[in-house]
């Protein structure tokens, strides 16, 4: 008999986009759009010469965990382009004004790559654990059938 927890797990599993699917890419772009809106809101509180890329790191993490590496990579590339265009000094330009800004972009890309590596490891671990649970349930069912067949 299924519990309410099992039912919720099935609902969330069905909502999770498959790796590389259109819904995964759309989810990644939605994460980037939300991160951009948050960053625009923070612009009122953070001086113009400071560029906060942390909001985009969260977008890359969510896209990578939920949608897989390809969706996370899309989020990382889109985040890099948007943050470069809108928030780095010499705004609305792809000109890099200082070595400091260049370093910020390079570090952001490196952090994004590390986040995606961790997200992929997490997804593989969850998949492996899910397979182990399914195998364990199958073996328990088989043992019950054998036990019932040997009982008089």
The 10s digit of each residue's pLDDT in 26-47 is 999 999 999 999 999 988 887 7
- Please tell me the predicted confidence (pLDDT) of residue 48: 62
pLDDT at 12: 57
Cα-Cα-Cα-Cα torsion 11, 14, 16, 20, nearest 10 degrees, comes to 180
Across 70-80, average pLDDT = 96
How many Å apart are CA 152 and CA 142, to the nearest integer? 18
For the stretch 1-26, pLDDT in tens is 677 777 656 655 665 677 778 999 99
Confidence of residue 56 (pLDDT cuts 50, 70, 90): very high
* Cβ neighbours of residue 31 closer than 8 Å, sequence gap 6 or more: 58, 59, 60, 62, 63, 75
Is the dihedral angle over the CA atoms 95, 98, 100, 102 positive or is it negative?
Answer: positive
Average pLDDT over residues 81-101: 87
**pLDDT value at residue 51:** 66
Measure the CA–CA gap between 118 and 40, rounded to whole angstroms: 28
| pLDDT for 78 | 97
| Confidence (pTM) | 0.79
How confident is the model over 113-128, as a mean pLDDT?
93
Task: Report the C-alpha gap between 91 and 43 in whole angstroms.
Answer: 12
Q: What is the pLDDT of residue 15?
A: 58
Residue recorded with tokens 């590339």: 77
What was the pLDDT predicted at 31?
96
- The domain locations on the chain are 4-150
User: Whole-angstrom Cα distance, residue 133 to residue 112?
Assistant: 31
| pLDDT value for 24 | 92
Chain-centre distance of CA 107, in angstroms?
18
């Amino acid at each position: 008999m299924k519990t309410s927890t099992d039912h919720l797990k099935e609902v969330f599993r069905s909502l999770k986009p498959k790796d590389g699917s259109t819904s995964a890419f759309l989810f990644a772009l939605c994460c980037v759009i939300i991160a951009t809106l948050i960053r625009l809101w923070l612009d009122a509180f953070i001086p113009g010469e400071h560029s906060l890329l942390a909001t985009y790191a969260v977008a890359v993490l969510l896209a990578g965990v939920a949608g897989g590496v390809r969706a996370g990579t899309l989020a990382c590339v889109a985040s890099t382009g948007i943050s470069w265009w809108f928030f780095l000094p010499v705004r609305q330009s792809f000109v890099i004004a200082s070595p400091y800004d260049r370093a910020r972009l390079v570090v952001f890309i490196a952090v994004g790559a590390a986040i995606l590596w961790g997200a992929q490891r997490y997804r593989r671990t969850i998949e492996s654990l899910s397979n182990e649970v399914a195998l364990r349930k199958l073996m328990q069912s088989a043992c019950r059938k054998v036990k019932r067949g040997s009982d008089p």
